[in-house]
């Protein structure tokens, strides 16, 4: 199974990860915690014609990405792939709907918190440079 993780940043570095698994064609479904109303993930997100499940979890890069020290640790291998995955989150998951105001209120997404700027950055990484402590990816700014 294929895994990919996303990193969410809210001013100070907050990490939120996602696991994506290739699925058969089906309609998008959101996973929302019934007690908190937090968006925990989504099923069947269409990314370039393939369908994935996404789950948001907290953690640090090294724990979420098998050490976060090699490109092979990341599901997406290029800036373009990372960009397309981030755009899919913005266009399909971080939206206002009857299920929740996940565009207007990014703090409703697990791993993001409400803040005075009312925003959350979700970074879809594709490359790490451990020597300089750099992480490259494309951000979905919600």
80 within a domain of the structure (yes/no): yes
CA distances from 124 to 11, 69, 120, 142 (A): 17, 15, 13, 13
Which tokens in the block code for residue 91? 């266009």
**Contacts of residue 130, Cβ cutoff 8 Å, sequence gap at least 6:** 68, 69
Ordered per-residue pLDDT tens for the chain, 142 residues: 344 445 443 332 333 344 444 444 468 999 999 999 999 999 999 998 999 998 887 778 888 888 898 999 998 999 999 999 999 999 999 999 999 999 999 889 988 877 777 778 778 889 998 888 888 988 888 7
Domain assignment of residue 134, yes or no: yes
| 39 domain-assigned | yes
Is 75 among the domain residues?
yes
In total, how many domains does the chain have?
1
Does 1 reside within a domain? no
Is residue 29 domain-resident? yes
Structure tokens at 111: 């791993």
Specify whether the CB–CB gap between 51 and 85 falls below 8 A: no
Tell whether 48 is covered by a domain.
yes
Give the domain extent around 73: 7-141
Distance between start and end Cα atoms, the chain: 28
What are the structure tokens assigned to 126, written together? 């594709």
Is 2 a member of any domain? Answer: no
Given this model, what pLDDT does residue 26 score? Answer: 63
User: Which pLDDT score is estimated for 121?
Assistant: 78
């Amino acid at each position: 199974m294929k895994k990919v993780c996303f990193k969410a940043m809210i001013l100070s570095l907050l990490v939120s990860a996602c696991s994506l698994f290739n699925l058969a064609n089906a309609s998008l479904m959101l996973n929302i915690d019934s007690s908190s109303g937090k968006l925990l993930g989504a099923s069947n997100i269409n990314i370039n014609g393939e369908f994935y499940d996404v789950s948001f979890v907290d953690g640090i890069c090294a724990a979420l990405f098998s050490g976060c020290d090699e490109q092979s640790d990341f599901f997406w291998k290029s800036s373009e792939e990372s960009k397309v995955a981030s755009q899919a989150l913005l266009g399909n998951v971080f939206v206002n709907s009857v299920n929740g105001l996940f565009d207007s209120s990014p703090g409703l997404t697990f791993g993001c918190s409400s803040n005075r700027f009312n925003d959350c950055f979700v970074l879809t990484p594709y490359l790490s440079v451990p020597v300089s402590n750099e992480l490259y990816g494309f951000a979905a700014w919600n």
